[in-house]
Amino acid sequence: MRRNALSRIEFVVALLMVAVLAGLGFSLIQRVRESAARTSCQSNLRQLALGVLNYDGVNAQLPPLVDADAGLMSVFAQLCPYLEASSRMYASPRSSAERYHAASSVSFPFTGQSGQKSSQDGGDANQIWSFFLDPADPTPKGQRDVPVTLPHGSIGYYATGNYAVNGLLAWGKKSSAKSLEEWPAPAVLFAERLQTCRTANGEVIHNLWGVGFYSPNLPAFAALTPTDPPGLQSTGQIAPATGGQFRIGRADAVPQSADFSTPIQLLRDGQPCDPRLPATPHRTGMPTAMSDGSVRVFAPNTDAETFWAACAGPPPVR
């Protein structure tokens, strides 16, 4: 009598076919997820660039990189009223210090842009906004209550973010161009850092979107701490000097040769991170927001000269 059951060979072949199809399906799902995360990230960057254009249109300059007032508001916090985000993501033009970086255990009354009343747990800079997060970041997402020592010695509490201000531009200063639209060439406004950068030695540096003072947690890249006033904390970041050399952390640091091949870090799960440099989880390269409102992606092998040239805007007015 003829048997209808599968032979052992047919069974093995069927299993192999199922495994291959499952692998293809998983790969397709991963690609779809990566594409969606990349699209979301670029949309966030584009909105940030438009926010800067709106701010520049009203104030005729970029917002300050650091805030000397008691609130210590970051560039991102100062841009909030100019962003086309949800009405819930709103910060008043000037928050008190307590209201700005309070722990999540402290509750405040909240009034949105449309006038709705509610409450908010934690300060404005201690809120998790998806608008400031890249879904592709493999590090822990949306962390709150990260303690940071403030310039006067007390502790502030902040939430993580992914985007970083280009410290080479004339933030908070009048530039030689009257507006962003008159810049001779588009320049990088924002790039990326991981929310949590863990170095090869185990040190952890968070990128905190609300930090508005010189610190390794400043949400920026290529930002150097000035010499005046004295006593400011080093950013620990790398910025180009002359002759292909670089300064680290401070504007008066001795220039030195680069110990990296490209300023663009492409980091996936478990890889050690260099907090001195910008970093992205996207395989296609570093997405950046440009001063003309566009998004430009720099390939992972972009050389330092090309990247830094794209970060150089017009000089400030002396």
pLDDT at 86: 46
Higher pLDDT, 73 or 114: 73
Looking from the CA of 198 toward its CB, the CA atoms found within 13 Å total 9
Q: pLDDT at residue 26 above 70?
A: no
**C-alpha dihedral sign at 158, 163, 169, 171:** negative
Q: pLDDT at residue 315 above 80?
A: no
Tens digit of pLDDT for each residue in 99-114? 899 999 999 887 766 7
Task: Tell me the pLDDT band of 24, cut-offs 50, 70 and 90.
Answer: low
DSSP H or E stretch at residue 304: helix 304-311
Give all strands (DSSP E) within 150-187, no chain letters.
155-158, 163-166
What proportion of the chain, given as a percentage, has pLDDT over 70?
87
pLDDT at 173: 83
Q: Region 236-240: what's the mean pLDDT?
A: 97
pLDDT at 221: 98
Task: Tell me the pLDDT band of 88, cut-offs 50, 70 and 90.
Answer: very low
What residues form DSSP beta bridges with 191? Answer: 164
pLDDT at 21: 72
> Which of 222, 193, 196 is closest to 281 using CA atoms?
193
Arithmetic mean of pLDDT over the chain: 87
pLDDT at 157: 96
Q: pLDDT at residue 281 above 80?
A: yes
Is there a contact between 298 and 42 (Cβ–Cβ < 8 Å)? no
Task: Tell me the pLDDT band of 74, cut-offs 50, 70 and 90.
Answer: very high
Q: pLDDT at residue 34 above 90?
A: no
pLDDT at 303: 92
Higher pLDDT, 119 or 198: 198
Task: Tell me the pLDDT band of 7, cut-offs 50, 70 and 90.
Answer: confident
Distances (CA, A) of 212 to 41, 70, 120, 220, 302: 23, 10, 21, 10, 29
Q: pLDDT at residue 317 above 80?
A: no
pLDDT at 30: 62
